[in-house]
Structure 1
Amino acid sequence: MNEEKFIEIVFSSIKDKGVRAAFRRADSSRLNYQCVEFLLKLGIDADNFDHRTAAFTVMASIARSNTSENGAVSFARGLALSFPDKSESDAAILRMRKLCSCENVRELALNLRPILDLISSRNIRVDYASIYRDMLLFRYENQRDNLRIKWMKDFYSQEL
């Protein structure tokens, strides 16, 4: 299943309040078993830790957000836009550096969750499909540097 279709299905599923509540807990290691069935029905490899972590991270973030459809802003650009002085903000730079220092999907998910919550609290609509795609690619060591460069370019971009 492609990333866009997965995100579309998550957004349509959270219209149900019970599903939304379960998805909010998807990134909790003690409670994510409630969402495994959803992954299996979509044909996502729930046995693969990286696939499962990426899906659960995005599902929880979408369920906690105030938006009803996928956005177009990259999460790195959204991070910069979350601060008044944008990519000049020490707090934003620190968060970006912490993300770029991650070495595996688990670390990435742990550092990405609060960033996505922050961006959502500023009503910035991020592109969850690209986040999911990046998380899936991050498991490959030869892709990590390319992703880090992409994120830094988006973060320091002067576009509004």
Structure 2
Amino acid sequence: MKSKTYKNKEEAYVEFIYAKKENDTKMRSAFRRATNPLGSYAVWEYVIPFMGEHFQIDKYRTAYILIGAYICMDKSTENGCDGLGSALVKTWGDKAKFSISGNDSIAIRIRKLLSCKRTEDLIKNIQPLLRVISERKRANLNYSRLLWEMIYFERDCEKIKIRWTLEYYKHLDRQND
């Protein structure tokens, strides 16, 4: 049997979680509890093989745990294709038609996200967005790309934020047609 090759360890991790969550109720429940920092130790066994020495760095460990938790809450059986910007438009629907500079809840949340400069701030501001995306089930988020963006956020945060903004407006234009 030929093994699948992955572009990066973030993609391998996401595929592992999707494959394992179907039959492993212990893992699913551990990840659901792991969104609370007090319960995060229960998923370390699933995260360590993909992180190696980076496991010691809190912001990276938190990003892996957060993505794993939302994959386990997701009902889909495979990684999606929506970037964060298009997922936000799909999730908020008609409310997303307003500009990012508006005063509605989605605009405020996006501005908070786009004002982040550090990974820790990004994680703090992205978690409520992931919760709503997960609850409304209108978007099929690409978790491996999002995890990669979270891990490498501080290296090139402007490029990542520009990508999210372009996806948002590009998908918004399609929705308005």
Indicate which of 126, 145, 170 corresponds to 1:130: 145
User: Alignment identity in percent?
Assistant: 27
Structure with greater helix share of residues: 2
Correspondence 1:155 to 2:168 = yes
- How far is the alpha carbon of 1:81 from its aligned partner? 1.4
Judge conservation of contact 2:63–2:123 (CA < 8 Å) in 1.
yes
Give the distance between the partners of 1:159 and 1:25, measured in 2 at CA. Answer: 37
Q: Aligned to 2:93, what secondary structure does the other structure show?
A: coil
RMSD (Å) for aligned C-alpha atoms: 1.7
Give the distance between the partners of 2:97 and 2:116, measured in 1 at CA. Answer: 20
The two structures have a TM-score, normalised by structure 1, of 0.90
1:56-104 Cα offsets, whole Å, 9 max, x none, are: 1101111122222111011221111112323427322211111011221
Give the distance between the partners of 1:30 and 1:11, measured in 2 at CA. Answer: 24
Judge conservation of contact 1:82–1:119 (CA < 8 Å) in 2.
yes
Give the distance between the partners of 1:106 and 1:113, measured in 2 at CA. Answer: 11
Judge conservation of contact 2:9–2:50 (CA < 8 Å) in 1.
no
Deviation above 3 Å: which 4+ runs of structure 1? none
Aligned length: 158
The two structures have a TM-score, normalised by structure 2, of 0.82
Structure 1 stretches lacking a partner, 5+ long: none
Structure 2 stretches lacking a partner, 5+ long: 1-7
Aligned residue for 1:139?
A: 154
- How far is the alpha carbon of 1:43 from its aligned partner? 4.2
